[in-house]
Amino acid sequence: MNQSLYDAVFCVDVGGQKIDPFAAATVDFGKVISDMKLGGYAITSLNVAEFMVLHQLDDMRKFKNQIISETMEMDNREDYCREKYGLSFKDIHALEPTSDFEFDIKSGQVILFLSHDAQYMEDAYMKLFGQELNKFCQETGFMYTKLGETI
């Protein structure tokens, strides 16, 4: 994609200044766009952000399901999960990343946050997924806002 087409599709004009919501992304942006084209997605800022966020949330869901599968037959799964992950099996099982997280593009910045109904589980999400979420934000340039803080 040439620069003028990229600017026209992705850059947002905020107060006379062009802001690129993907400027800080270190991910293979070409691959993201290519994967989206293969899937028949329309290439817009919102769709690219959604595609990237949904892939991350799906990875989080897969990790949670892996924990559940590995511990399902354990007699001591509550103790095991508390020791290894800092959360009870029940707390891990209650996390639903693909439906608990939301995102928006505000002033040319992609912002991730927990839905209103899931904010009470923020500590559990940070214990289990905090490092991965931080890494995702660093790689994409997206911001995660948690109860007044931004990472």
* Model pLDDT for residues 83-99, shown as the tens digit of each residue: 999 999 999 999 999 99
State residue 52's pLDDT score. Answer: 92
Torsion angle, CA of 53/55/60/65, rounded to 10 degrees? 140
Closest by Cα among 90, 101, 103 to 129: 101
Q: Give the integer Cα–Cα distance in Å for 50 and 146.
A: 19
State residue 53's pLDDT score. Answer: 94
State residue 71's pLDDT score. Answer: 95
**Count of Cβ atoms closer than 10 Å to residue 115 Cβ:** 12
Query: Which three-class secondary structure state does DSSP give residue 105?
Result: strand
State residue 82's pLDDT score. Answer: 96
Extract the residue ranges of the chain whose pLDDT is less than 70.
1-9, 12, 147-151
pTM (two decimals): 0.84
Q: Give the integer Cα–Cα distance in Å for 17 and 25.
A: 19
